[in-house]
Structure 1
């Protein structure tokens, strides 16, 4: 089949995506002089709580005992070879930064995009005169990471960020290193099925595409572009070009173009059976999300609430959103919308997970102060003063009284890093 896309019109760079193998488990293994490849290791949020979840598992733990991220502590079998540890988030972050420091030895900071705590993109285009072929440079980087930090890694390489990520996820995690080119699209990318195996396609989009008779990436690539755009809008254009391996994202684009949402999610340490207790945590979370928006002078028009019910109630939950007429970053306004969504959708089951997010962001200076709300500006100044205190002295320096009740979680979480023990 001939190409429908003229690849000569698109950038063809040397982008690598480097991922640390089972990062948390690997860091723990280094700390305790264990081999992460052979020792069954699980990093568990809290070893004192049977319902606590596994944050990371070593390859041996996954293969031998079927324990993976999200497994509950009580589901882990009792076996003398299994090693269980609690997270050390400060140490994990230090190791992550050490990896980034190694990458900076080979390219300038603008050529590195830290995608997550254990995964980074690096642009090696034009470094041939310094380090030789980019494929060899990636191997050198992987070797230095191991020699310096004792961390194993895998790496995918491609002409853009998408192809590098796909090479990593779909091949390199089995072979340590893989390079994909545009010539590999039809033989390596198109057979991918289910569609959710493709970076950027979630379960909802997959279901919609399946209903359209599309079950692999090759079928997606050969659907008329106009049909996808009519169905998904701008996202349809992206789906089509991604199916052909085309990605125009610039390294670091998520930071350059600005964040499009702010959100917070937490798994509660116990089941919350009273709606008043859920309200307490909800207010804390709205405070955190609103503050992050205020810190960068953003306001939002769409507010989303997600509730996950306890496994004791056979799971389930809901995700709902509401768009308001006037953008806001006022904690109490966001909280009130969340309370309304909760009241309308809550079925009184025990709650175990809560998420809050705000989208459709606008510059807060464009907010119109309603003539009927004379206290708007005063409330914004008060919030700014509170934020200033927290930014200077820490999040726990100024908390609402609700945080000191048995239902509150902010006091305990303020002593954690990344939601876990430091």
Structure 2
């Protein structure tokens, strides 16, 4: 079947991405040219295994250092500048950039997707600023003139196509516009499927197993079969392959992927089981808190364990769906502990990730005769959250956070997981 694009909303939406944002900000603060210098922003300069959070374009090109590389992988070269992350500074610059965007559209027409990426809805501004490409050029010029920062801008009729336009073309050209008519020639040839925003490695493997290797093949696949395999996500995958997105500005583009998670690269190798489970408990606390903040609960708990490079890497990722949705820390922890005991092989652990998915509104749960404290446990979580909001994240911690294995006390003083 085909899609009648004439029946769909045709907005003017910009997706703006700051080029190598962290590295560019650090370069400008040092008086360097962000596009010509060799600079890396590192989480902690005192730890050789610390992660590279951002690398300047020239560092990527000339030395092969990418985001996610390790400090010890960076060559000892006097041309290379190493800068420790200053998250407070980066957030302040991001806020100033949002103020610049507010000159063109009201705040409700701006969706800050991340520190370095935003969506703008330009509908109704043509009489003031001109066509979308003209506005994009003005924003890009002002960004460079005021902050010495460069950006790429994708323009599309909805959030999804503006994002895909950015990722697949505008990051190479600077500014690009896609329309619905561009979908067959620009989106459908995309392969491998991971290049399509919203499709991860696991989803790609599943789709490949169904004989789907390009976005065009996904668009031509039977929608009913996709829905049978993936549920509501199958419906979204089908329509997104056609460039269709009916979400409002600010809504998650992949609505069926709502989840709450936390991933942590540990500051050292963890070998003892009691130390590993201590960190798992701390992380379950954070995942449950994020769910409670949104008044949500989840049925599916996922635990990912990554082994140290000394163990030649590897690890496992497993999930379990429980009968009743929860946002109680100890409920999530018990499931994670069960998954850990079933699949842990005794190797040294360096990375842990926990996700709560299959989300529903909190309160849509059934009281159980076998859990007399069910309501009290849920309410206790909200009370703890209120105390921490008022007095700070470290004002109320579990005992494991005061052990040598705990990481919550140290991370409480960080911004975005890094030094402020």
TM-score (norm 1): 0.94
CA deviation vs aligned residue, 1:47-94 (integer Å, no higher than 9, x gap): 111111111111001100000011111111121111111100011111
User: 2:350, 2:237 → 1: CA distance?
Assistant: 34
Give 1:101's match in structure 2, choosing from 79, 99, 102.
99
Match in the other structure for 2:174? 176
Higher alpha-carbon deviation: 358-367 or 80-89: 358-367
1:8 pairs with 2:6: yes
Change beyond 3 A, Cα 1:289–1:213: closer
Match in the other structure for 1:336? 334
Secondary structure in 1 aligned to 2:394? Answer: helix
Change beyond 3 A, Cα 1:71–1:380: same
RMSD: 2.0
Give 1:137's match in structure 2, choosing from 135, 138, 159.
135
CA deviation vs aligned residue, 1:284-338 (integer Å, no higher than 9, x gap): 1111222222334333222221111111111111111222222222222221111
User: 2:364, 2:216 → 1: CA distance?
Assistant: 45
Task: Give the deviation of 1:201 after TM superposition.
Answer: 1.7
Count of aligned residue pairs for this structure pair: 420
Give 1:188's match in structure 2, choosing from 183, 186, 189.
186
Match in the other structure for 2:311? 313
User: 2:83, 2:290 → 1: CA distance?
Assistant: 32
CA deviation vs aligned residue, 1:91-144 (integer Å, no higher than 9, x gap): 111111111111111111221111111001111122111111111011111112
Give 1:25's match in structure 2, choosing from 20, 23, 26.
23
1:262 pairs with 2:274: no
Match in the other structure for 1:62? 60
Match in the other structure for 1:89? 87
1:31-70 equivalences under 5 Å are 31-70=29-68
Match in the other structure for 1:212? 210
CA deviation vs aligned residue, 1:241-276 (integer Å, no higher than 9, x gap): 222222222211139979932211110001100010
Match in the other structure for 1:244? 242
Change beyond 3 A, Cα 1:222–1:299: closer
Checking the alignment, whether the CA contact within 8 Å between 2:289 and 2:327 is kept in structure 1 is yes
Checking the alignment, whether the CA contact within 8 Å between 2:40 and 2:53 is kept in structure 1 is yes
Secondary structure in 1 aligned to 2:113? Answer: strand
Change beyond 3 A, Cα 1:244–1:361: closer
Structure 2 unpaired stretches of 5+: none
Give 1:126's match in structure 2, choosing from 112, 124, 127.
124
Match in the other structure for 1:322? 320
Match in the other structure for 1:147? 145
Checking the alignment, whether the CA contact within 8 Å between 1:386 and 1:398 is kept in structure 2 is yes
User: 1:205, 1:269 → 2: CA distance?
Assistant: 30
Match in the other structure for 1:202? 200
Structure 1 unpaired stretches of 5+: none
Secondary structure in 2 aligned to 1:71? Answer: coil
Higher alpha-carbon deviation: 217-226 or 244-253: 217-226
Checking the alignment, whether the CA contact within 8 Å between 1:389 and 1:397 is kept in structure 2 is yes
Higher alpha-carbon deviation: 236-245 or 52-61: 236-245
Match in the other structure for 2:233? 235
Change beyond 3 A, Cα 1:254–1:209: closer
1:371-382 equivalences under 5 Å are 371-382=369-380
Checking the alignment, whether the CA contact within 8 Å between 1:42 and 1:61 is kept in structure 2 is yes
User: 2:377, 2:340 → 1: CA distance?
Assistant: 25
CA deviation vs aligned residue, 1:182-239 (integer Å, no higher than 9, x gap): 2222222222221211112222222233233332222332333334334333323322
Checking the alignment, whether the CA contact within 8 Å between 1:113 and 1:122 is kept in structure 2 is yes
Checking the alignment, whether the CA contact within 8 Å between 2:232 and 2:256 is kept in structure 1 is no
TM-score (norm 2): 0.95
1:114 pairs with 2:112: yes
Change beyond 3 A, Cα 1:175–1:7: same
Secondary structure in 1 aligned to 2:363? Answer: helix
Match in the other structure for 1:418? 416
Checking the alignment, whether the CA contact within 8 Å between 2:10 and 2:158 is kept in structure 1 is yes
1:393 pairs with 2:391: yes
User: 1:252, 1:41 → 2: CA distance?
Assistant: 33
